[in-house]
Amino acid sequence: MKSRVIIAVVLLLALLSASAGCARSGKGLVDIMKKVPVDSTSFNYWAVERFDDEELWDIYEKFRESLEAIQLKDIGVVLSSVKHAAKASGFDGSLTVLSGDFAIENIEKGLEDKGYQKTTHQETGIWTPQDEQGYKSVALQKGTILIGDMENLKICIDTMVKEEEYSLYEDPDIKLVTDKLVTGKLLEGIVVNINKADSEEKYADLIAYGKSYEKEDESRLKLTAIYMFQDGYAAGQAQDGIKGYLGTKELAEIKVEREGNFIRATGLIYITDFVEALAF
């Protein structure tokens, strides 16, 4: 009997460990990437559910003070129901995607009460504000809220239903960069940026790059960055430039190494310094 109890306990611990591993994977990041258009050139992800940590509240405050969060509260969305949030841009526009535990019927009532006008695209309701508060249109699907201009929301909805568009995650180069950022990690960073080569950083023969920020201790974040180049030669030529650029961003203990045609860079940054240049 004693051996059976021990076996049962071991199995229970294994199941709990496996469950925690699944919950703490990069699934939230990837799921949102699958909702945005493939021709996005910039993608910024926030693991909002993890900002319950008081040491990360300065970062969360940037989300809480954003126009999107203010609009959500105005239509009756409880901010604690938002688990993941991202902004995508570059497809002749931009939009915000939020996933979480949303009471869609209550949100629709809130939209009606605030005078939003409803239209439908691909069987998805799109609600457009009629006031001058700077709010944008809102589209609702189970577990997902989209915020953006009408045409951009339609592009995103087409991506989600796979009628006309492929998603950003299905771009093979972006998928490689993203997978390298989350592979072998228990969870994706609290803030993750994925960019194509025509974004902020420019190096010869750069294809795409991504940056993931994870909590290191009570006052610092750890950056892990992945840069994808055409070949190993181009990656090697860019090493000094990447290290120099990161050195201008308040990062310390910067390490840069080549992995074939990829560059992996790491560094540490104080949360206070990170927040100064941060916006949702």
pLDDT tens per residue across span 242-276: 999 999 999 999 999 999 999 999 999 999 999 99
Residue closest to 158 by CA, chosen among 72, 42, 39: 39
Average pLDDT over residues 7-28: 44
Average pLDDT over residues 8-37: 59
Inform me whether the pLDDT recorded for 6 exceeds 60.
Answer: no
The H or E element containing residue 95 is strand 94-100
- Cα–Cα distances (Å) from 68 to 56, 64, 154, in that order, read 20, 8, 18
Quickly list DSSP for 225-264.
EEEEESSHHHHHHHHHHHHHHHHTTT-EEEEEEEETTEEE
Q: CATH assignment of 171-276, given 3.30.1830, 2.60.40, 1.10.10, 1.10.101?
A: 3.30.1830
pLDDT of residue 187: 57
Q: pTM for this one?
A: 0.87
Residue closest to 48 by CA, chosen among 87, 76, 85: 85
Q: Where are the domains of the chain?
A: 41-161, 171-276
pLDDT of residue 17: 38
pLDDT of residue 168: 95
pLDDT tens per residue across span 132-159: 778 999 999 999 999 999 999 999 999 9
Inform me whether the pLDDT recorded for 13 exceeds 70.
Answer: no
Inform me whether the pLDDT recorded for 233 exceeds 90.
Answer: yes
